[in-house]
Amino acid sequence: MIFKTPRIEAEYHDPAAIHPRIRQLVLFAEDWLYERGIVLAVTELLRTRAEQVALYAQRGVPDPPTSVHELGRGADIRTLDWPRNLIPGFVEMINNHFPYDPDRPLKQTCIFHDIGAGEHIHLQVAAVAVPPESRFQTPDSEVA
């Protein structure tokens, strides 16, 4: 695993900085990608309110909503060096096996998007606990 900046690496290793489920999800993604010859690159974890406002101001949004990055519940992963055909399967696999919130089934844990800084994978977790039976159980036969 590599990090875009030393700040992001420090955030990742600080147990108080990010939600433990985001750390678990990033570790799972790292293993899954490693099996496919790809090094996971984390490009963002935490974002201050000022950083959130500046990012959205570039898109003409003066008062953006609070981001999961501001709450320590989001992670962005670079996909520039991934085979394009791998991205949809990764997104589907994460969303099928790691529910965001059982009470909000339309919310996704994994999104492939571009908010103005380039296409990337965005991982997010809810503040609520997910039932143990749905946590990180991915049979090997379903991740290939």
Does residue 134 contact residue 95 with C-beta atoms inside 8 Å?
Answer: no
What CATH number is attached to the domain comprising 53? 3.30.1380
| Whole-number pLDDT of residue 143 | 38
**Residue 141 resides in a domain:** no
Structural domain including 60 reads 2-135
**Residue 64 resides in a domain:** yes
**Stated pTM of the model:** 0.85
| Whole-number pLDDT of residue 136 | 43
| Whole-number pLDDT of residue 33 | 95
Q: Which residue reads 């919310």 in tokens?
A: 107
| Whole-number pLDDT of residue 59 | 84
Domain total of the chain:
1
**Residue 144 resides in a domain:** no
**Residue 57 resides in a domain:** yes
Q: 64, exposed or middle or buried, with CB in 10 Å at 0-12, 13-18, 19+?
A: middle
pLDDT < 50: residue spans in the chain = 132-144
| Whole-number pLDDT of residue 130 | 58
**Residue 50 resides in a domain:** yes
**Residue 80 resides in a domain:** yes
**Residue 142 resides in a domain:** no
Q: How is 60-126 classified by DSSP, letter by letter?
A: T-SSPPPPTTTTT-EEEEE-TTS-TTHHHHHHHHHHHHS-S-TT-TTS-SEEEE-SSS--EEEEE--
| Whole-number pLDDT of residue 27 | 95
Secondary structure class of 32 (helix, strand, coil): helix
Q: 76, exposed or middle or buried, with CB in 10 Å at 0-12, 13-18, 19+?
A: buried
**Residue 82 resides in a domain:** yes
| Whole-number pLDDT of residue 118 | 85
